[in-house]
């Protein structure tokens, strides 16, 4: 034991005791003088909880398990099950609290108190990995309950449903599928898992290399983010991935992808994980609002929404909603503005986003970056259709003048046609001077 962590010896080097269970890479060596030579002291977990007795011995306290994102009571007499449960808790980052204490439940191998009602977390667990074997618990009626993943299930016509189905309406279920070798495949969340040395892996692991331990989230630039333990990582070079918040929060967490899954190099984050929504088709979208609302996808790509903003929806008598944000209320409008460009055309600005015209439709100015948002106008210039969502922030514009012109303007015998009330903006970038000159020229024509 060194600084609260325990190490086991392998070929003269002491590795963290959690190396096998959660992949911790910390390791030390002992010098000839009995000193400590630190090779790597970066742990990806909290230190184990040991109690020192009066006679100087240490006893591990397994009555509770605390995690930075979990409040879970885990009580078991089986060390192997305890490590597996701790491993899956760290993988998923559970946020559920214990709802009931089953200390009276006795089993030949385990005594476990764990309850989750979050269906989203259950689906996420099924997608990542199923680590625990199941146990048969005899009931007074002569049947058996199945304990699997910390939950109990009862059989109804060959399918095992969660024991809380009747009381709280839990829809979790799984099915045991017998194989020719006399074993069972576990079907859970629409996926099948087979057992290898006490661990259940996705059945497609050998065929398509499914590791079911992390997610790949497509980005608008054609790459992928790696979601692992609730955090996202972006590729730097090769198989090395850094935390996506490295620039924003100076986070130093990084991982490496191998054939066997994720190898953490530094798994300590200095910020909270981003919030993503898992859609029914298995894709992800970043949840940016409260209350949570699942956004739509376009073209099979993931739509990323902006950073989280707290706001409230206030229903009106017309069936619409007002948005209350920082004690101010906002109403939705389809009013747009036209911004003249140096090429003699116009950009359409709606809700802070700009669109450029192409074959009768207005496409987002960030179309080249993968944004699919577009607008269609009718013959009278009113908005007829709005499709897609933006995955990027709004461009920064500053309005410098506004001309409420809707009819033709005659100047020096020439007619200038203005389609809609036009607001003139200047871009807060290198084109600011050009926009100012353009506005001054248009003002002279008006006079």
The residue among 183, 207, 231 that closes a domain is 207
- pLDDT on residue 192: 67
The residue among 38, 60, 82 that closes a domain is 60
| pTM across the whole model | 0.24
- pLDDT on residue 348: 85
- pLDDT on residue 202: 66
- What is the CATH number for 263? 2.20.25.240
- pLDDT on residue 378: 80
- pLDDT on residue 148: 61
- pLDDT on residue 405: 35
In a domain, 168, yes or no: yes
User: Within this chain, do residues 302 and 260 fall inside the same structural domain, yes or no?
Assistant: no
- pLDDT on residue 59: 66
- pLDDT on residue 213: 56
Q: Tens-of-pLDDT digits for all 447 residues of the chain?
A: 888 888 888 888 888 888 776 778 888 888 877 788 878 878 877 777 776 666 667 766 543 333 333 333 333 344 444 444 554 455 444 433 332 233 322 333 333 333 334 444 344 344 333 334 456 677 777 777 776 655 677 777 666 667 765 555 555 555 667 777 777 777 655 566 677 665 666 665 554 445 445 677 887 777 788 887 678 888 887 778 888 888 777 888 888 876 656 666 776 777 777 777 666 565 666 654 333 334 444 444 444 444 444 566 677 776 666 776 656 676 666 667 788 888 878 888 887 788 888 877 889 988 877 788 888 888 777 777 788 777 777 777 665 544 433 334 344 444 444 444 444 444 433 333 333 344 444 444 444
User: Within this chain, do residues 178 and 72 fall inside the same structural domain, yes or no?
Assistant: yes
- pLDDT on residue 325: 62
In a domain, 347, yes or no: yes
- pLDDT on residue 426: 41
The residue among 292, 313, 330 that closes a domain is 330
Range of the domain at 417: 337-446
- pLDDT on residue 315: 72
- pLDDT on residue 165: 58
User: Within this chain, do residues 415 and 380 fall inside the same structural domain, yes or no?
Assistant: yes
User: Within this chain, do residues 308 and 378 fall inside the same structural domain, yes or no?
Assistant: no
- pLDDT on residue 138: 74
User: Within this chain, do residues 423 and 343 fall inside the same structural domain, yes or no?
Assistant: yes
In a domain, 324, yes or no: yes
In a domain, 98, yes or no: yes
Encode the chain in three state secondary structure. Answer: CECCECEEEECCEEEECCHHHHCCCCEEEECCCCCEEEEECCCCCCCCCEEECCCCCEEECCCCEEECCEEECCCCCCHHHHHHHHHHHHHHCCCCECCCCCCCCCCCCCCCCCCCCCHHHHHHHHHHCECCCEEEEECCCCCEEEEECCEEEEEECCEEEECCHHHHCCCCEEEEEECCCCCEEEEECCEEEEEECCEEEECCHHHHCCCCCCEEEECCCCCEEEEECCEEEEEEECCEEEECCHHHHCCCCEEEEECCEEEEEECCCCCCCCCEEECCCCCEEECCEECCCCCCCECCECCCCCCCEECEEEECCCCCEEEEECCEEECCCCCCEEEECCCCCEEEEECCEEEEEECCEEEECCHHHCCCCEEEECCCCCEEEEECCCCCCCCCEEEEEEECCCCCEEECCEEECCCCCEEEEEECCCCHHHHHHHHHHHHHHHC
Domain count, the chain: 5
């Amino acid at each position: 034991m060194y600084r609260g962590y325990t190490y086991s010896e392998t070929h003269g080097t002491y590795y963290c005791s959690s190396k096998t269970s959660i992949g911790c890479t910390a390791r030390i060596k002992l010098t000839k003088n009995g000193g400590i030579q630190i090779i790597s002291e970066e742990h990806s977990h909290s230190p184990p909880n040991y109690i020192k007795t009066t006679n100087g011995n240490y006893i591990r306290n397994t009555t509770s398990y605390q995690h930075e994102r979990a409040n879970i009571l885990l009580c078991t007499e089986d060390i192997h099950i305890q490590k597996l449960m701790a491993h899956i808790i760290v993988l998923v980052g559970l946020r559920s609290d214990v709802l009931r204490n089953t200390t009276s439940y006795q089993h030949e191998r385990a005594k476990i108190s764990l309850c989750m009602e979050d269906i989203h977390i259950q689906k996420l667990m099924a997608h990542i990995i199923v680590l625990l074997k199941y146990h048969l618990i005899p009931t007074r009626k002569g049947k058996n309950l199945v304990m699997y993943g910390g939950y109990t299930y009862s059989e109804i016509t060959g399918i095992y449903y969660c024991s809380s189905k009747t009381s709280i309406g839990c829809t979790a279920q799984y099915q045991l599928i017998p194989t020719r070798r006399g074993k069972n495949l576990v079907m859970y969340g629409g996926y099948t898992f087979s057992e290898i040395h006490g661990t259940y892996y996705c059945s497609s692991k050998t065929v398509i290399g499914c590791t079911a331990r992390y997610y790949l989230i497509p980005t608008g630039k054609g790459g992928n983010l790696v979601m692992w333990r609730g955090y996202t990582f972006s590729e730097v070079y090769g198989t090395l991935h850094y935390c996506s918040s490295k620039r924003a929060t100076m986070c130093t967490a990084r991982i490496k992808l191998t054939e066997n899954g994720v190898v953490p190099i530094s798994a300590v984050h200095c910020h909270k994980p981003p919030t993503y929504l898992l859609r029914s088709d298995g894709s992800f979208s970043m949840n940016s609002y409260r209350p949570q609302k699942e956004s739509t996808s376009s073209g099979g790509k993931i739509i990323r929404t902006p950073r989280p903003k707290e706001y409230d929806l206030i229903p009106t008598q017309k069936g619409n909603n007002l948005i209350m944000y920082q004690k101010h209320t906002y109403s939705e409008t389809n009013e747009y503005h036209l911004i003249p460009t140096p090429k003699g055309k116009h950009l359409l600005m709606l809700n802070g986003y700009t669109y450029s015209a192409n074959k009768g439709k207005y496409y987002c100015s960030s179309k080249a970056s993968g944004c699919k948002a577009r607008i269609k106008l009718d013959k009278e210039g009113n908005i007829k259709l709005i499709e897609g969502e933006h995955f990027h922030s709004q461009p920064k514009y500053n309005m410098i003048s506004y001309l409420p012109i809707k009819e033709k303007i005659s100047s020096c015998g020439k007619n200038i046609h203005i389609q809609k009330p036009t607001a003139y903006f200047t871009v807060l970038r290198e084109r600011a001077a050009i926009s100012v000159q353009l506005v001054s020229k248009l003002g002279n024509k008006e006079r």
